[in-house]
Amino acid sequence: MQYLLVVSDIHGFPETFADLSEVGCSQHRVLQLADLSGRPGLRGDELHHHLFNEDGMRHAVRAVREIDGRTCLGVGFSAGGTALWNAVKEGLELQGLICVSSTRLRFETSPLNIPTMVVWGELDPYRPHVSWNHAVAQRWKTYAGKQHDFYRIDALACESPLRADIAAFIEGRFLFA
C-alpha cells in the first residue's frame, strides 16, 4: 500500500496531515524537520539558521535517507521539500515527490529520476524563475496571488486547488505542466 511521507516546514506545519484517503493514500507519516535536523527544540528562524547555516540540513537529509520509502510518495513543505529532494538525490527511494514552496530548490540544476511536482505562490519572492521550472521541474504550478506560506491554509482546505493538484499527482492525473 502506498502512503504519504510528509516532512514539515520550519514552523512545524503540518503537525498532522489531513486525511487523503479519498485519493488512495489512507496512511501517512508526518516527520518534523526540527527532529530530523537533530534540534527538536528549534522553530522558525532559529531552525532555518540551523538548517542552512550550520549542519542541520545534512542531518535531516541523512535521517530521511534511512527511511524505507519504496512505497511512499513524499510531500515536503518549504524546507521539508528541500530535505526530501536532497535525500532522493542521495539515494532515498520514493515513488514520487511533491515540494510545496520549497524555494531553495532554485539552486538545483537537474531533475530527479522520479516523478516530481513543485508548486509556488506567485508572490513568493524566492521562487525560481519560470525557466527553472521548465529545465528542472517535471510538473509545476504557480498559484496566482499567493504568498510563500499559502499552503498552511490551502493544503488542509478540502476544496482548495492545491489539495486537488496534490490528489491529481498522487492518482497519476497530471492536470498541469
The whole-angstrom separation of Cα 137 and Cα 154 is 21
What per-residue confidence (pLDDT) applies to 18?
56
What per-residue confidence (pLDDT) applies to 175?
47
Burial class (CB in 10 A: 0-12, 13-18, 19+), 95: middle
What per-residue confidence (pLDDT) applies to 170?
82
Residues 6+ apart with CB under 8 A from 171: 23, 24
What per-residue confidence (pLDDT) applies to 176?
44
What per-residue confidence (pLDDT) applies to 17?
63
Q: What are phi and psi of 63, to 5 degrees?
A: -65, -40
Residue at 99: amino acid letter: C
What per-residue confidence (pLDDT) applies to 3?
80
Edge-to-edge strand list for the sheet holding 28-31: 28-31, 3-7, 72-77, 96-100, 116-121, 139-143
What per-residue confidence (pLDDT) applies to 81?
98
What per-residue confidence (pLDDT) applies to 123?
98
**Are 150 and 121 in contact, with CB atoms under 8 Å apart?**
yes
Cell for 28?
Answer: 501517512
The whole-angstrom separation of Cα 74 and Cα 128 is 21
Hey, what's the torsion of the CAs at 55, 59, 65, 67, to 10 degrees?
Answer: -160
3-class SS of residue 11: coil
What per-residue confidence (pLDDT) applies to 158?
80
pLDDT along the chain (177 residues), means of 10: 85 74 65 96 96 96 93 93 97 94 96 95 96 92 96 87 88 57
